[in-house]
Amino acid sequence: MDFIDKIFSKYSQEKIIKWFKQICVAEAISCVLLYGVAMIWIRYDENLYSIIFISVIGSLHGLFFTLYLLLCLPARKIYNWDDEDFVFALLSAFFPFATIWVDKKLARFDRE
């Protein structure tokens, strides 16, 4: 945890917030491409292009998934999430499109 705090301490809060919001959206878009396009395409027409497409989209989705989990740590401090909010944000990475909900509802300063 201290290692990750040291990495993100170089950047301003605004920059981390911007990155977090972008990664929330990118993770959801890559999820749509992976589940809605790549997996269906490879199921019905397995050729070289579909294999390359699912490999690239799968790798990108894995990258965005990992970045989302890493950026949840500084986001917790910025948005003053309690343990319940933080666990919910982490678990949201495992459900399709839940990161969009985290971006719109949980990652706000004016929450009650």
Average predicted confidence (pLDDT) for the chain:
89
Q: Tell me how far apart the alpha carbons of residues 108 and 104 are, in angstroms, rounded to a whole number.
A: 7
Spans of all domains in the chain: 13-106
Q: Tell me how far apart the alpha carbons of residues 17 and 107 are, in angstroms, rounded to a whole number.
A: 9
* 45 residue type, one letter: D
Residue 2 burial by Cβ neighbours in a 10 Å radius (0-12, 13-18, 19+) = exposed
Global confidence as pTM: 0.88
Q: Tell me how far apart the alpha carbons of residues 27 and 85 are, in angstroms, rounded to a whole number.
A: 19
What is the per-residue pLDDT across 32-73, written as a single tens digit (0 to 9) for each?
Answer: 999 999 888 888 888 999 899 999 999 999 999 999 999 999
Highest mean pLDDT among 8-12, 71-75, 104-108: 71-75
Q: Tell me how far apart the alpha carbons of residues 44 and 102 are, in angstroms, rounded to a whole number.
A: 34
